[in-house]
Structure 1
Amino acid sequence: MASAGIVNIRRDVDDKFYRYRMPLLTTKIEGKGNGIKTVIPNMADVARALSRPPTYPTKFFGCELGAQTSFDEKNERYIVNGAHDANRLRELLDGFIDKFVLCKSCKNPETELIILKQGRTEDIIRDCKACGERTGVDMRHKLTTFILKNPPVKIKKGKKKTGTGDAAAGVGGGGDSPDAEASPVENGAESDDELTKKIKAEAKDLNDDTTLTKEEWSADTSPEAVKQRIKALEGGLAGVSIANGEDEGSDDDANSPYSQLGKWVEESKDSHEGDTKAFLVAAYKKAEELGIEKKHKSVLVFAQALFTDDVLNEIPQYGALFAKTITSEKHQKALLGGIERLVGLSHPDLLPAVPKILMALYQLDLLEEEVVTQWGTHVSKKYTDKETSKRVRKASEPFLKWLEEADDDSDDDEQ
């Protein structure tokens, strides 16, 4: 899906760098006459981003429109009877999100639904993992009857070194803290989907392709040449002071310094007239002006604003800026988070290229082996939804395997 098909979960937030994203709801009209119906092809993907079963928003549409609904969960087919405009259903989805997803207190979508029983009375509660508040839903809405009859699937928590299930509670794995690292990638997930099989097949000879050749990168963007430019850039930035302090503010706020930085980079990156070094220095000074040049979220913003579907050629171009701003494991993880969003949400066609992307970053010393290995074996909801996180990590397996084998060879040489 192209980036145009990704929108903010809260569509009232006009911020490209808003953390919570979902696919734009799509529709398809089928049938004629009394048999006409509206199929929602990507309802499963939308619901996954909301951490809700796809039956809930589909049934919500039916309640609001006075229409019959039907689901074929095995084939991910969700239908509302009648012909309904896509924009109308998107507006209704906003209503569902407001009533059954967003925390009533902080308006954050990082919630799970819980059913509380008190005697014969049952209430549906939104348990927010962001602010900790528990807020009730309007039990007068018709959807609540459906939810009570089809309650959220609760998955038992537990430490699993080789587990086969998600270590989460609530609807669709929505029980993780937004910043928490979830359980390691499960052995049970070894029943690889076709995409993973394709990636593995194409990358099984990765050991023979560990050097990014001049043909792939062109002579002036080889790792050696880029490292020389990094040193030159660092010399140009030597006099720039770096402020101390912890992360402040929210990257979800359209007026936050992170949003301002991202918008500035997007507007300026094509206007430097070929002088990439001058642009990178200016970008760093812009971050300094906003007081966030040392913060790991700035690395995430740079990755989102700079990288496109041509990321393999852009990494050596912009590597110097990341070399200057990445100063800790947290910064490296933010860079990986940017890559997750790039290939998982904006440009899924890049998934097979994940091993080469990681290799390029690794060769420029932007990522350390330990950080990549830990990232690759721990699914996280910090930067994307859990399913996207899993897909990106699956795609990274050939590179992780190469790292492990390279490390084994190094150990053998030392003996």
Structure 2
Amino acid sequence: MASINIRRDVDDKFYRYKMPVLLTKIEGKGNGIKTVVPNMSDIARALARPPSYPTKFFGIELGAQVKLEEKSDRYIVSGAHDAARLRDLLDVFIDKFVLCGACKNPETVYNITKTDDVFRDCKACGARSAVDLRHKLTTYIIKNPPPVEKKIKGLKTGADSSIAANAEAINGKSSPAEPEDGADGQANAEVDESEIPDVADRPDDDDDWAVDVSPEAVKAREKALSAQLKNSLILGGQEGEGDGDDDDDADSPYGQLKAWIGESREEGLDEKKVMAKVKELGIEKKHKAVLVISEALFTEEVVKEIPTYSNLLKAMVTSEKHQKALLGGLERLVGLTYPSLIPAVPKILMAYYQEDILEEDVAKNWGTHVSKKYTDKETSKKVRKAAGAFLTWLDEADESDSE
């Protein structure tokens, strides 16, 4: 994943504090349109803050509702907001609620006092700086403080803590605090020795570090590594194998392409810009790149837009697999993004056909085989049913040719 300096005003490439580039994904339409930040958890982890804090900050600053789906790791802001706007707001959040007020270092932790004051304690310089108590996010932080590491009661730090942790793991609960006893001041915690493995039975720690260097073991490791490299490099894979939802992963090149198209739409897109981005990501020959483009590039004016991007599509759609991906993107476009386009499916297919992007045999095969590869089965069936007029036209054209 691409990373940037936490302080974007610092140009030093050796600046040690990094975070992922904020990505956005627009979902829904009309009153239900929303902006999802797919990598919010990664950004929050880099800032040492709960992901709910920056998400809530976005909502406050934009006057929008937010939805925190922590179990599914989805952080949503209602409305359509481009990534550039949210990145600027993230800079404000970092300045107000992360950076030390003295040294501007992001190594800070919150200290919430009994009087409901929130301070940033800097681990780097030791300074303490207050956050803006007038900001609504401060109220949210006080009501939803960051998680605190659990401490084991009745035990000191150091060796006693590790002993207690082991005892807690064995007994399934914390050891109660006991009064100190004897000159050494150690706690008189009672531990059932029968549950502790004998020293002779414990695995030797050195075994964890030992590496089998026999020829057989080396060959086995090389084979495993080769398989991993193959899976990571062959992004397209075979149809039906390794063909999951990598295009929906924000960190993948396909996720980056989809996000870039959404962000660049307002500035204006053309074939050269899109192809340059595809080449930059190294996926110009991948059929999944065609899937993303046919799903994300077009709007409700897709019939008029296909001729505009015909040269781009001709350059990228070079095999039957690419054509199937093109049709998969069509299923997502009309079945999920713009359901109102379903009646226009024959016109869209005709536009692809007339631009020599879609072949007759591929279209017929697609039209007669319902699949849940790109959408759910019901949506797939609905789109193919709508394509009936175009498929009938192809059949009639074949009959007239044979006559």
TM-score normalised to structure 1 length: 0.40
TM-score normalised to structure 2 length: 0.42
Bigger Cα Rg: 2
